[in-house]
């Protein structure tokens, strides 16, 4: 192919792309009408961010050795998988999961783990703010939550009322890496998470 033909093809492709005649991947939008929703950046966290979470989890596990605790229920059951939800439901569920995690870790920040939690709290706060941009505050517009999502949201909402603080802390800490490496990645991948 000559350079003139190649240049012509490139120009035509650029023109078609600008006019919308050729489909171009757009940033992930969780629900129609959401603006500023940029979750694709969370397909993977940096090694430094993951290391900060590992340090916090390790410090927490060390503190557990000094406690006598017994938790019978699971706030985050192993059978729960965001892939079971519709794509638009996933950010809603993840937002609730991150909100609970932030609330529990926020109360733990006043403990001996305080400085260890600074970076994880900052990262989770950023993730939560991005999720807020993707999920409308009032779910009255758009699709209604189905049974599975409704049950999951109710479970997260009731957890602080039903569980002891120690069990909440343990559940949240033991769920951290699933939240970061599986749930967050799934939501960030949108339709590609199957």
pLDDT at 17 over 80: no
Q: Give this prediction's pTM.
A: 0.76
pLDDT at 7 over 70: no
The residue among 14, 194, 177 whose CA lies nearest residue 97 is: 177
Quote the pLDDT of residue 36: 64
Domains and CATH numbers, the chain: 46-71+87-137+146-192 (1.20.1250.60)
Per-residue tokens: 53: 């979470």
Please report, rounded to a whole number, the percentage of residues in the chain having pLDDT higher than 90: 45
pLDDT in tens, 101-159: 999 999 988 787 888 999 999 999 999 999 999 887 655 555 555 688 999 999 999 99
Q: How far apart are CA 91 and CA 33, in angstroms?
A: 14
CB atoms within 10 A of CB 5: 9
Torsions phi, psi of 80, nearest 5?
-70, 130
């Amino acid at each position: 192919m000559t350079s003139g033909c190649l240049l012509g093809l490139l120009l035509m492709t650029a023109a078609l792309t600008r006019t919308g005649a050729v489909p171009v991947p757009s940033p992930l939008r969780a629900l129609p009408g959401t603006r500023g929703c940029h979750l694709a950046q969370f397909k993977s966290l940096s090694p430094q961010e993951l290391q900060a979470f590992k340090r916090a989890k390790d410090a927490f596990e060390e503190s557990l050795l000094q406690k006598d605790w017994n938790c019978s229920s699971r706030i985050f059951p192993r059978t729960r998988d965001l892939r079971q939800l519709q794509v638009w439901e996933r950010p809603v569920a993840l937002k609730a999961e991150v909100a609970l995690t932030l609330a529990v870790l926020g109360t733990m920040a006043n403990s001996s783990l305080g400085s260890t939690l600074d970076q994880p709290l900052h990262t989770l706060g950023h993730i939560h703010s991005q999720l807020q941009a993707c999920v409308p505050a009032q779910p009255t517009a758009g699709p209604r939550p189905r049974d599975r999502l409704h049950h999951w949201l109710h479970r997260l909402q009731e957890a602080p009322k039903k569980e002891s603080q120690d069990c909440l802390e343990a559940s949240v800490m033991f769920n951290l890496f699933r939240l970061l490496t599986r749930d967050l990645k799934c939501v960030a991948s949108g339709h590609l998470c199957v």
